[in-house]
Amino acid sequence: NTREREKAIVIFMAYNMLGFFIILAVLSPAMVSAKDFVVGDDKGWTTGFDYKTWAKGKDFRVGDRLIFQYPFGAHNVFKVNGTGFESCIKPALTEALTSGNDVIVLATPGRKWYICGVGPHCAVGGQKLFITVTSEWMAPSPSPLATIHKRDGEKGNLIFMASNMLGFIVILAIVSPALVSAKDFIVGDDKGWTTNFDYQTWTQGKDFRVGDRLVFQYPVGAHNVFKVNGTGFESCIKPALTEALTSGNDAIVLATPGRKWYICGIGQHCAAAGQKLFITVNSEWMAPSPSPSENSSNGIIPKFFPTAMMVVLIVSIFGLSF
């Protein structure tokens, strides 16, 4: 009858909402577990400190941040490779971080090396850091329920299991687009990164988002890529301490929203030949909001949605069954 039908719909919705909260409980730790590591702790970034010992036992993960704190002007931070780390050699075209509170997001797994490039601070004062970054934080496996309230008959158990599985599928359908929608943009498409190309027109209609990548493709040695500010973009001025990307297949992850400027630093490629790019990066990809059902049977589901929410709370707290 109608009352039994309405009751079944409420139970169905309640268990799906319960499944939603379970999935949130599983996913939430992965969203909040990234850590900040103040390099050297209270000693900060300085000479005469054993950073190898400091790094021992620490679990550096993708998404974590290294924070180098030091008196402004006393030190700096260079990211180097293994050879530069061992020999305290700073790359010729690498940008030094100099703010005194330098924050580096660990964006990729693998080995990372950092040194101070001031005087003999690295070679004599041991001011260098090596860490290994592992994959991003994963949500811990949920512990099994200690007890499960016994439902009346096999039908109740099947409804519980089926509804939660459906809830799981719904959440995956909502979350998955946010995980897979990041895009790679080949700058200039088939023309690549070159002179005499209208990059302003190329950007029109493109939706750049946090997590997307710009890929600059060009013959090695023919061009390079500098990230600059608005003034550097307008005047084609490359910063004195900025690292040029030179691989010929330079991939830049758009890690933050806002305006971004890039130029080629070779000769007059920027000033005379227009080899420069300006984009605006929007917030990260979000899963689209589900559209409401247009064919709800006799309007029962919308009508009973508040009741379903109340049932979820009752089931969650007291373990009651119908």
Q: CATH code at 206?
A: 2.60.40.420
User: Using CA atoms, how far apart are residues 164 and 19, in angstroms rounded to an integer?
Assistant: 5
Q: Indicate whether 305 pLDDT > 80.
A: no
DSSP annotation string for 265-303: -STTTTTTT--EEEEEEEPPP-PPPPPPPS--GGGHHHH
- The torsion angles phi and psi of 127, rounded to 5 degrees, stand at -85, 80
Range of the domain at 130: 36-134
H or E element that contains 119: none
Q: Which amino acid is at 262?
A: Y
194 and 128 inside one domain: no
**Could you tell me the pLDDT band of residue 119, with boundaries at 50, 70 and 90?**
very high
Task: Write the CA distances from 120 to 13, 156, 293, integer angstroms.
Answer: 67, 73, 68
Q: Tell me, yes or no, whether 146 lies in a domain.
A: no
pLDDT value of position 182: 75
The pLDDT, as a whole number, for residue 226 is 95
41 and 109 fall within a common domain: yes
Residue 111 lies in a domain: yes
Residue 41 lies in a domain: yes
Say whether pTM exceeds 0.95: no
Q: Tell me the average pLDDT across 276-294.
A: 66
What integer pLDDT is reported at residue 157 of this predicted model? 54
Let me know if residue 165 belongs to a domain: no
Contact 281, 206 (CB under 8 A): no
Alpha carbon distance 224, 243 (integer Å):
10
Residue 206 has pLDDT above 50, yes or no: yes
149 domain-assigned: no
Query: Is residue 18 included in any domain, yes or no?
Result: no
Domain tally, the chain: 2
Asked whether the predicted pLDDT for residue 140 surpasses 60, the reply is: no
Q: Is residue 234 part of a domain?
A: yes
Residue that terminates a domain, selected from 94, 113, 134: 134
Instruction: Render pLDDT for 244-261 as a digit per residue (tens, 0 to 9).
Output: 899 999 999 998 999 999
- Reported as a single tens digit per residue, the pLDDT across 207-231 is 999 989 999 999 999 999 999 999 9
Buried b (16+ CB within 10 A) or exposed e, 191-204: ebbbbebebeebee
Please state the rounded mean pLDDT for residues 90-113: 89
Contact predicate 67/105, CB 8 Å: no
Is the residue at 315 inside a domain?
no
Which are the contacts of 71, defined by CB distance < 8 A and separation ≥ 6?
100
Q: Are residues 103 and 189 in the same domain?
A: no
